[in-house]
Amino acid sequence: MRKEFSNAMEQLATEDDSIVFITGDLGYNALENLQEKLGKRFINAGVAEQNMVGVAAGFAHKGYKVFCYSIAPFIVYRCLEQFRNDVCFNNLPVFLVGNGGGYGYGIMGSSHHAIEDLACLSGLQNANVWVPAFSDEVEPVIRQIRNDARPAYLRLGAGKTAPENSVLSKSFKIIHQGNAAEITVFALGPIANNVMTALSLSAELASRVNVVTALHFPLQLGSELIDLVKNAPSVLVAEEHVSTGGLAQQLSVQLLENGIFPRSFRSLKAEGYPNRKYGSQTYHQKISGLDADSILSEISQLLIPA
Same domain, 172 and 152: no
In this structure, are residues 99 and 69 in contact, taking their beta carbons and an 8 Å threshold?
yes
Is residue 11 in some structural domain? yes
Same domain, 138 and 20: yes
Same domain, 181 and 279: yes
In this structure, are residues 128 and 145 in contact, taking their beta carbons and an 8 Å threshold?
yes
Same domain, 112 and 204: no
Give the end of a domain, one of 123, 156, 189. 156
42: domain range?
Answer: 2-156
Q: What pTM, to 2 d.p., does this model score?
A: 0.95
Position 306 scores a pLDDT of 56
Give the end of a domain, one of 134, 156, 178. 156
Same domain, 193 and 106: no
Residue 20's nearest CA partner among 44, 46, 51, 47 is 44
Hey, CA dihedral for 8, 14, 19, 21, is it positive or negative? positive
Contacts of 155 (CB under 8 A, 6+ apart): 72, 98, 101, 114, 117, 118, 129, 130, 131, 132, 189
State whether residue 148 is helix, strand or coil.
helix
- 152-156/94-99 β-pairing: parallel
pLDDT in tens, the chain (306 residues): 778 898 999 999 999 999 999 998 887 777 888 888 899 999 999 999 999 999 999 999 999 999 999 999 999 999 999 999 999 999 999 999 999 999 999 999 999 999 999 999 999 999 999 999 999 999 999 999 999 999 999 999 987 899 998 999 999 999 999 999 999 999 999 999 999 999 999 988 999 999 999 999 999 999 999 999 999 999 999 999 999 999 999 999 999 999 999 999 999 999 999 999 999 999 999 999 999 999 999 999 998 765
Is residue 297 in some structural domain? yes
Same domain, 54 and 20: yes
Give the end of a domain, one of 131, 156, 181. 156
